[in-house]
Structure 1
Amino acid sequence: MKREWQEVRLAGAFLTVFPVARNLETTPERLGRSLAFFPAVGLLIGLGLVVLNWALGAFLPRAVLDCLLILTLIAATGALHLDGIADLLDGLAGGKDREGILRIMKDSRVGAMGAVGLIMVLLLKYLSLYNVPEEFKSAALLFMPCAGRWVQVVLASFCRYIRPEGGTGGAFVDHAGEREFLIGTVTLLLAGLVLFGLKGIFLVFLIGLSAMVLIRFFEARLGGVTGDVLGAATEAVEVLTLLLVLAVMSP
C-alpha cells in the first residue's frame, strides 16, 4: 500500500499545483504507474469543488458561483490542460502533415484557432455546469474531473508517444499498460454508479465511446499522442461529461 500511496501523490503532484510529492523519487516507470490513480485524483479535485460550492452557495448567485468553480478548477490544475487544447487546435488548423502539426504545437505562442478554442471550451463548460439540475450538481462536479483524467489513462495505455525528442508525456505513455487502464476504469465505473446509479454506467459507456473516437482520430491524424494531446483530451471530455449529464439526468 505504501507504493500505491506514493503513486497517488505523484499523480496529484502532476495533475495539480499542490506540492504533495516532495522527497519522492520520480522515475519514468513510477510516473507511468501513477496513471492508474489519475481518475482518483480527479475525484479529489471534484471534492474540493463540491466543498467550495457548499461553502459559498448560500452567499453567491449560482451564475457567479459556477464561474468561480471553473476558475478554481483552472487554478488548481495550473491551466495545464487548457494549454494543451490551445496548442493542439493551432497545430491541427495550421499543420498540413504530422511534422507540421507537431512543430506548431511546440510553439509557445497561441494562434487564432487556439484562442477561439479556449474561449469556447470555457464557455461550454461554464454554461453546461450552470444548467446542470441542482440535485445533480455535486455529482457532476465530482464526476467531471474524474472522467477527464480517465481519458488520459486510456490514450496513454493504447496509443504510442510520437515526439522523437521525448517529453514529460512520454514517461506516462511509454510505461502505461493494462494495470493502469483497469484500475482507472474501475474507479470511473464505481464513481458513475455511486453518483448517478445505473444511469452512471450508461454515462461511462458513452464516455468510453468518445475515448475510442479520440484514439482513432489521433492515430489517424498524428500517429499517436503527445502531452498536449492528453491535456486537450481531458478538456474535451470534461465538457462532454457535463453535456452528457445534462442530456441523461435532466428531467
Structure 2
Amino acid sequence: MRYQLELFFTALGFFTRIPVPGWVPYSPERLNHAARYFPWVGLVVGAAGAAVFWFARQWLPASLSVILSMAATIRLTGAFHEDGWADACDGLGGGWEKSQVLSIMKDSRIGSYGATGLVLMLLAKAAALVEIAAHGIPHAIVAMIVAHTLSRLASTSLIHTLSYVREDDTSKSKPLAKQLSSMELSIAGAGGLLPLLLLGPAEALGAVVAVLIVTAWAARLFVRRIGGYTGDCLGAVQQVSELATYLGILIAWNSI
C-alpha cells in the first residue's frame, strides 16, 4: 500500500505543481509505474477546478467562474498539457517529415499554429463549460471532474498502445514510455471511468463515445505522421479529450 501511495505522489508531483512529501523517492522506473495514476491525478485537478468554480459562482456569473476555474487548473498543472497541445499544433501543422515535426515540437517557442490552437482550445472549453453551467452548478462540477479524469485515461491509453518515438534522453516524458501491465491498466481505467457514475447514462455514453472518437483519430494521426507518440502528443490528447467530454455531454442533452 505504501508503494502505491508513493507512486501516486510521484505522478502528482510530475503532472502538477503540488508539493509532494519529502519521503517519496523518485526514479525514472518509478515514474514509469506511476503512469497508472495519471487519471487519478486528473481527479485531484478536476476537483480543484470544480471547487474554484463553486466558490466563484456564489458571487460571480458563470462565465467568469468558468474562466477562474480554468485558470486554477492551468496554474495547478503549470500549463503542462496546454503546452503539449500548442507544441503538437505547431509540429503537425508546420512540419512535413517526421524529423521536422519532432524538431518543431521540441522548440520551446510557440508558433502561429500553436498560438491559434491554444486560443481556440481555451475558448472552446470555456464556451462548453458555460453552456453546461447554464443547467446548474452541480452539472458543471461533475463535468469538470469527469473531463479531467477521462481525458487523462485517454492519454494513458496512448502510452499502452503506441510506440514512443523520441530517441534522445532529454525528454521529460521518456520514463513514461513503456506499456502498462494489466494491473496498471486496471488502476488507470478505474480512475478514468469511475467518475462517469456521477453522470446520467446518456451523458456518460456521450462523453465516452466522443473521447473514443477523438483519441482514435489522434492515435491514427500520430502514427501516420511520426510513427507513434511523444509527450506533447499526450498533452494534446488530454486537451482534445477534455473538450470532447464537454461536447459529448452537451450533445447527449440536445439529443434527448
Q: TM-score range by the shorter chain?
A: over 0.9
Residue equivalent to 1:41: 41
Matches within 5 A, 1:8-23: 8-23=8-23
Structure 2 length-normalised TM? 0.91
1:161 and 2:164 are equivalent in the alignment? yes
Residue equivalent to 1:60: 60
Partner SS, residue 174 of structure 1: coil
**Superposed displacement of residue 21, structure 1:** 4.7
Amino acid at match of 2:18: F
Do 1:188 and 1:204's aligned partners in 2 also have CA atoms closer than 8 Å?
Answer: no
Partner SS, residue 168 of structure 1: coil
Do 1:40 and 1:187's aligned partners in 2 also have CA atoms closer than 8 Å?
Answer: yes
* Counterparts in 2 of 1:197 and 1:146: CA distance versus 1, 3 Å: same
After superposition, give the CA deviation of every residue in 1:147-192 in whole Å (9 maximum; x if it has no partner): 2211221011111111111322111112534333222122222211
- 2:198 maps to which of 178, 195, 198: 195
* Counterparts in 2 of 1:24 and 1:82: CA distance versus 1, 3 Å: same
Residue equivalent to 1:108: 108
Do 1:6 and 1:21's aligned partners in 2 also have CA atoms closer than 8 Å?
Answer: no
Do 2:90 and 2:104's aligned partners in 1 also have CA atoms closer than 8 Å?
Answer: yes
* Counterparts in 2 of 1:237 and 1:21: CA distance versus 1, 3 Å: farther
1:140 and 2:170 are equivalent in the alignment? no
* Counterparts in 2 of 1:104 and 1:8: CA distance versus 1, 3 Å: same
Residue equivalent to 1:24: 24
What is the distance in 1 between the residues matched to 2:69 and 2:174? 31
Amino acid at match of 1:30: R
Do 1:153 and 1:180's aligned partners in 2 also have CA atoms closer than 8 Å?
Answer: no
**Superposed displacement of residue 201, structure 1:** 4.4
**Superposed displacement of residue 53, structure 1:** 2.1
What is the distance in 2 between the residues matched to 1:47 and 1:228? 24
Partner SS, residue 176 of structure 1: coil
After superposition, give the CA deviation of every residue in 1:107-161 in whole Å (9 maximum; x if it has no partner): 1111111110010000001001100122411110111111221122101111111
Listed as ranges, the gaps of 5+ residues in structure 2 are: none
Amino acid at match of 2:73: L
Partner SS, residue 177 of structure 2: helix
**Superposed displacement of residue 60, structure 1:** 0.8
Residue equivalent to 1:225: 229
What is the distance in 1 between the residues matched to 2:161 and 2:250? 29
**Superposed displacement of residue 202, structure 1:** 4.9
Aligned length: 250
**RMSD of aligned alpha carbons:** 1.7
What is the distance in 2 between the residues matched to 1:175 and 1:5? 21
What is the distance in 1 between the residues matched to 2:91 and 2:46? 30
Structure 1 length-normalised TM? 0.93
Residue equivalent to 1:84: 84
Do 1:157 and 1:178's aligned partners in 2 also have CA atoms closer than 8 Å?
Answer: no
What is the distance in 1 between the residues matched to 2:55 and 2:185? 35
Amino acid at match of 1:94: G
Do 1:46 and 1:145's aligned partners in 2 also have CA atoms closer than 8 Å?
Answer: yes
Amino acid at match of 2:152: R
Partner SS, residue 109 of structure 2: coil
Name whichever of 51-60 and 169-178 sits farther off.
169-178
Matches within 5 A, 1:172-251: 172-174=176-178, 176-192=180-196, 194-199=197-202, 200-250=204-254
Do 1:159 and 1:173's aligned partners in 2 also have CA atoms closer than 8 Å?
Answer: no
Amino acid at match of 1:184: A
